[in-house]
Structure 1
Amino acid sequence: MSTFKVLLAALTVGFMPSLSLAAEPAPVFNDAQKAAIEATVRDLLTKKEPEIVMQAAQTLQEKAEKEQAAKGKEAVSQNLDRIFKDANSPVGGNPKGDVTVVEFFDYSCGYCKMAQEVLKKYMAEEKNVRFVYKELPILGDASIYASKAALASVAQGKYIAFHEAMMEAKERLTEDSIKKIAKDVGLDVVKLTKDMESDKIKTMIKANQDLAADIGARGTPAFVIGEKLYPGALSPEQLKEAVDEVRKAKKK
């Protein structure tokens, strides 16, 4: 439904109380009459009183955002252990940090690569944050291959280096380029390609996909900090503010 029709419906509902007080039933309009009335109201709102449309649209948008935020917080609060304490999710930063930042990402996602620049700089400066990596390949076969390879690299103790190298790669990721990156960071590629096909790796990725769906993380990147879901890439200021907010809440 268009924004205008939503507004028109809202205005119509607003007039209903006065109509219900009338002694006679409200008139029934045919399709042509309804179209004419809608055109008249549209003309009035868009040409005579455009600020009404803008204000109403803003109000509806704010309401929708608040409702979405409330649903997101509830979903996160119901899945805290899966988000923060999953033993299979790779961990970076300070394992004993006072705040945990969780990221859902895809190696083929341009916005994830932008986020990586912010995160890498932040983690270099911030020494008391724990970081949890949630592989969420949603952009095709190359993404799935990259995530499987990344999770398999944990067994060789090279996850962080491999993760960063794939995120910072300028070329489009393919099976060949992923294997080359793996070799460049010191991974045993033969062992890696064998390990990445294990049922355990597939189960880990499926678990991340299910978790993302359950908390409303519909794209990448997506972050969970505290009990809030942050969809999309975060600026340095937004990331710092989110972490500081959790720390302040802990002091109360």
Structure 2
Amino acid sequence: MTGRNYFLAALLALLFGFAGAALWSLSGLGDRQVRGYLLDHPEVLAEMADAYQAKQASERLSAVAGEVAEPFPGAVLGNPEGSVTLVEFTDYGCTYCRMSKPEVDRLVADNPDLRVVIREWPIFRGSEEAARMALAAAQQGKFAAFHDAMFALGPPDAASIEKAARAAGLDLAAAREFASSETATREIAKTMRLAETLGFTGTPSWVVGGKVIEGAVGYDGLDAAIGDARGS
């Protein structure tokens, strides 16, 4: 088999499985026919690329799924005992994360069995201090209140972080101490490692069931993924 035939067989293996690739090889179907088909149906290549990327993402997730779905204590929205888990990698300085928040709130309201694990992934300038305070809020059992207030108050800076902490009713002295602790540092480093392992390039990013999703995909996209996870 020529080098091109090997490449075509690999593409067909992705699309039809290895049995299909083997049948193509044995059938004697030439390069010209396959090339002609792919030129007439270029969308097939995009579909195959998407399938390949989804397969790679699934394989990466399988190695860290337990860690990803295990929240920092208290950093959970919705039903803490929910049977379906949506994990969000988020940043308080991310505009698309802020835009996604009402959609997550709606998902929680519409799905009583949904547990939303928030992973603080500060990748924007100035966001790490807000992420650390969010972990302090979780440690005090007031994560949801801080999370809501921080997004409502706009981009994170010293003033908005303190306002959010006060709005959430945090013990500020204890929160500041925890925010600077090694525990908070390790948690942020863990989330960064998980995001890198999963191949995420930005926020928001999501994990639900066996799916890895990047970007502000909207309510419908997340709701469909939750439905798939529930049915699996």
TM-score, L = length of structure 1: 0.73
SS at match of 1:164: helix
- Equivalent residue in structure 2 for 1:195, among 158, 178, 198: 178
The within-5 A match list for 1:87-102 is: 88=73, 90-102=75-87
Alignment partners' CA distance in 2, 1:90 and 1:105: 12
Moved more, 60-69 or 73-82: 60-69
Q: Which runs of 5+ in 1 are unaligned?
A: 1-12, 15-51
Q: In structure 2, do the counterparts of structure 1 residues 62 and 202 end up closer, same or farther at CA, with 3 Å as the change threshold?
A: same
The within-5 A match list for 1:22-171 is: 55-56=41-42, 58-86=43-71, 88=73, 90-140=75-125, 142-169=126-153, 171=154
Q: 8 Å contact 1:102–1:224 — kept in the other structure? A: yes
Q: CA deviation at 1:69?
A: 0.7
Read off the aligned partner of 1:213 and give its amino acid letter.
E
Q: CA deviation at 1:219?
A: 1.0
Q: In structure 2, do the counterparts of structure 1 residues 216 and 54 end up closer, same or farther at CA, with 3 Å as the change threshold?
A: farther
State the Cα deviation string for residues 179-223 of structure 1 (Å, max 9, x = none): 122112211222222210000100000000000111112210011
Q: Is 1:185–2:159 an aligned residue pair?
A: no
Q: CA deviation at 1:60?
A: 3.5
Alignment partners' CA distance in 2, 1:194 and 1:242: 38
Greater radius of gyration (CA)? 1
SS at match of 1:79: helix
Alignment partners' CA distance in 2, 1:217 and 1:145: 21
Q: In structure 2, do the counterparts of structure 1 residues 206 and 89 end up closer, same or farther at CA, with 3 Å as the change threshold?
A: farther
Q: In structure 2, do the counterparts of structure 1 residues 71 and 192 end up closer, same or farther at CA, with 3 Å as the change threshold?
A: same
**1:205 aligned residue:** 188
Q: 8 Å contact 1:92–1:131 — kept in the other structure? A: yes
Q: 8 Å contact 1:89–1:134 — kept in the other structure? A: no
Q: CA deviation at 1:65?
A: 1.6
SS at match of 2:93: coil
Q: Over the residues paired in the alignment, what is the CA RMSD in angstroms? A: 2.1
- Equivalent residue in structure 2 for 1:239, among 218, 222, 228: 222
Q: In structure 2, do the counterparts of structure 1 residues 168 and 54 end up closer, same or farther at CA, with 3 Å as the change threshold?
A: farther
Q: CA deviation at 1:92?
A: 2.1
Alignment: residue pair count: 198
Alignment partners' CA distance in 2, 1:194 and 1:85: 24
Alignment partners' CA distance in 2, 1:198 and 1:244: 38
State the Cα deviation string for residues 66-111 of structure 1 (Å, max 9, x = none): 2111100111112111111255472221122121110000110011
Alignment partners' CA distance in 1, 2:59 and 2:40: 30
Q: Is 1:221–2:221 an aligned residue pair?
A: no
Alignment partners' CA distance in 2, 1:189 and 1:162: 12
SS at match of 1:104: strand
Q: CA deviation at 1:130?
A: 1.0
Q: Which runs of 5+ in 2 are unaligned?
A: 6-37
Q: In structure 2, do the counterparts of structure 1 residues 62 and 151 end up closer, same or farther at CA, with 3 Å as the change threshold?
A: same
TM-score, L = length of structure 2: 0.79
Alignment partners' CA distance in 2, 1:224 and 1:199: 26
Alignment partners' CA distance in 1, 2:87 and 2:138: 18
